[in-house]
């Protein structure tokens, strides 16, 4: 009787596991896009080895776009390119909101030279990337 019960339980478990399939996944339902940065709040100057909060105002174009964070890349010793990143849900019924939202990121000053921040603001009519450039000196 015990063997029959164990076989029955094994068949039931295998049957229920087989009915769940990972192949039913429709795939990725979002993609990432650069968002337009509208304005930025940075200190007038930095102090070496200090951490600062940089405030960024950006445009959320529709209700399918979620703020994901920032991509901050170093293009030279003290030059930082900053792109606001949005996760855009792939839905057919997105509503335009053109909402200004604010997010922040932390920045640590590790060099004693002025920092140049290049914040991505979108593309011009020719498809060329445009930037808001802000230089912040480092106190000695």
Mean pLDDT of the chain: 88
* pLDDT (tens digit per residue) in 27-37: 779 999 999 99
Q: Are 56 and 104 in contact (CB under 8 A)?
A: yes
* pLDDT (tens digit per residue) in 84-99: 999 999 999 999 999 9
Q: Taking the model in full, what pTM does it have?
A: 0.79
Q: Does the structure show a pLDDT above 70 at 12?
A: no
Beta strands in 8-112 (DSSP E): 30-35, 37-41, 46-47, 51-62, 65-76, 79-89, 96-108
Short-list 124, 128, 117, CA closest to 83: 117
Q: Which fold is adopted by the domain 30-139?
A: Immunoglobulin-like (2.60.40)
Q: Does the structure show a pLDDT above 80 at 132?
A: yes
DSSP H or E stretch at residue 119: strand 115-123
Q: Domains of the chain: which residue ranges?
A: 30-139
Average pLDDT value for residue range 58-73:
97
**Cα–Cα distance, 83 to 33 (Å, whole number):** 10
Q: Which residues of 92-105 are buried (b: 16+ CB within 10 A; e: fewer)?
A: eeeeeeeeebebee
């Amino acid at each position: 009787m015990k063997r029959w019960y164990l076989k029955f339980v094994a068949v039931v478990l295998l049957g229920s596991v087989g009915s769940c399939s990972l192949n039913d996944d429709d795939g990725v339902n979002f993609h990432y896009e650069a968002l337009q940065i509208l304005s930025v709040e940075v200190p007038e100057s930095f102090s070496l080895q200090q951490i600062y909060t940089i405030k960024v105002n950006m445009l959320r174009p529709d209700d399918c776009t979620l703020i994901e964070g920032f991509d901050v890349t170093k293009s030279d010793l003290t030059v930082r390119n900053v792109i606001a990143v949005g996760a855009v849900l792939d839905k057919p019924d997105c509503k335009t909101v053109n909402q200004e939202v604010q997010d922040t990121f932390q920045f640590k000053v590790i060099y004693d030279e002025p920092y140049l921040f290049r914040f991505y603001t979108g593309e011009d009519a020719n498809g060329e990337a445009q930037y808001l450039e802000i230089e912040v000196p480092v106190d000695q």
